Amino acid sequence: MTNGLHIPKVSQSPTDPQFVGNPYDFYRKIRSIGDFVFWEDYDVVVATTHVACASLMKHPKLGRKPPIGQHLEDQSHFKTFQTLETHSLLEIEPPDHTRLRKAAMRGFDRNHIAALAPDVSRTIDKLIDQFPSERFDFLDSFAHPLPALVITQFFGLPDEMAPQLQIWSHDMVAMYEARRSRDIEIKAEAAATAFSTYLRDVLAKRGATPGVDYLSALMRAEKDGDIKSQNELLSTVILLLNAGHEASVHALAHAVNLLADHPERTLALEPTNIANTVEECLRFAPPLHMFNRYVYEDVRILEHDFKAGQTVGCLLGSACRDDALWPDGDKFDPIRYRRSNLAFGSGIHACLGASLARLELQIALPALFSRCPDLKIAEPPKLADRYHFHAVERLMVDITPAATSST
């Protein structure tokens, strides 16, 4: 039985500054040990390789919904947050997941996403127009506002709500981080309450006159019975607003940092190569590094036995650097042969908004470096203590012709 006693144990604090700045040395070490290790700091078995992570995420005997009685801690101070979690696509399993994901997919088909490109381009140009003339934080001026504005417009919400949605999103997403504390739980509850109240008001006002936006599509799905309750509707909207913002912020920041001084940047950003370049950016620096699964039935995977009730971790950040699929996986190579990666997960819980995030990157990166060809990284990026996310806290850039990199 794989319970941490029969596989190698490793220790690494996820909040250690050296690990926060560069978790990949640790990942390389544990991949050399095997497909699975027992991470003592989390008290959980984690998958280290691409094949192991993909196997866990796709296996029907594992899922995201906690087994009954798994979470017995006091949740009275974040009841609203937990109610949203209970109905979240991220936390439910079939048949409810199948029904709700099918309803949520209505606005994420290829043609609908492609049709968003002109609006995304206009938003990008407006943000670039407002860039300061002196060095500035790329996150404040571009990486934060772009995804927030795109997802806000996608839902048919006013642009002026984007900054507030960022704040609510940040406070709620902190619940999935290693630094989680009671203070974070209280802030997440306040954000969940305010977010829910705001959306109920929007839904009430829009009920009689739904539009052509994604929120209206979800409202029609509720009316048709594909979404069973307003709690399901609220949970789906909030999940997608949060996820549609958070991952894209850090994917953008990492991609700009990787490409700014890359010798093959011009080639990498050509229309025929941009999709591959985006995939390499996501593979090399995925925004989410660990995602958990629960074992529902005793099962053997890759010669390891897992017991019903176990929690297992999928180290996406490690899987995406696996040399077994990507030779010299710790090297960023936007021209390398493209293979499917796990940056947005896999299986039935793969990120619903991945196509929208990819669209943003495929439009934003060429536009940025076309309009700001002298963009340089002004100082080494500061990584945030937000594991399971590999999050950028600050990325100072300079776009003037005389700019020189200090890295």
DSSP string across 17-36: HHHHH--HHHHHHHHTT-SE
- Residue from 248, 260, 281, 346 carrying the catalytic annotation: 248
**Is residue 73 very low, low, confident or very high in pLDDT (cuts 50, 70, 90)?**
low
The question of whether 73 is a catalytic residue gets the answer: no
Using one digit for the tens of pLDDT, what is the confidence trace for 220-241? Answer: 899 889 999 999 999 999 988 8
Cα separation values, 41 from 38, 53, 159, 179, Å? 9, 19, 41, 13
**Which candidate in 188, 351, 364, 378 is catalytic?**
351
Domain 9-398 CATH (choose: 1.20.1250.20, 1.10.630.10, 3.30.450.40, 2.40.50.140): 1.10.630.10
270 a catalytic residue: no
Exactly one of 91, 232, 246, 279 is catalytic; name it.
Answer: 246
Q: Please give the pLDDT value at position 1.
A: 39
Active-site residue, 246 included:
yes
CA distances from 49 to 59, 152, 324, 343, 349 (A): 15, 36, 8, 13, 19
Can 133 be counted among the known catalytic residues? no
Residue 356 near residue 244 (C-beta atoms within 8 A): yes
- To the query of whether residue 264 is one of the catalytic residues in this protein, the response is no
Distance between CA atoms of residues 187 and 402, nearest Å = 43
Name the 3-class secondary structure at 288. strand
State what percent of residues in the chain have pLDDT above 90.
72
* Mean pLDDT score across all residues of the chain: 91
Give the separation between CA 242 and CA 396, rounded to whole angstroms: 25
Residues 191-204: tens digit of each pLDDT: 999 999 999 999 99
376 closest CA partner among 216, 245, 257: 257
- The predicted-structure confidence for 306-327, as pLDDT tens digits, reads as follows 999 999 999 999 999 999 999 9
Cis-peptide, bond into residue 17, ω within 30° of zero: no
Spatial contact of 389 and 288, defined as CB atoms under 8 Å apart: yes
Q: Which of 177, 279, 280, 360 is catalytic?
A: 360
- Residue partners of 333: CB distance under 8 A and separation at least 6: 280
Domain coordinates in residue numbering, the chain: 9-398
What is the tens place of the pLDDT at every residue in 92-139?
999 999 999 999 988 888 888 889 999 999 999 999 999 998 999 999
Read off the tokens for 357. Answer: 């995030």
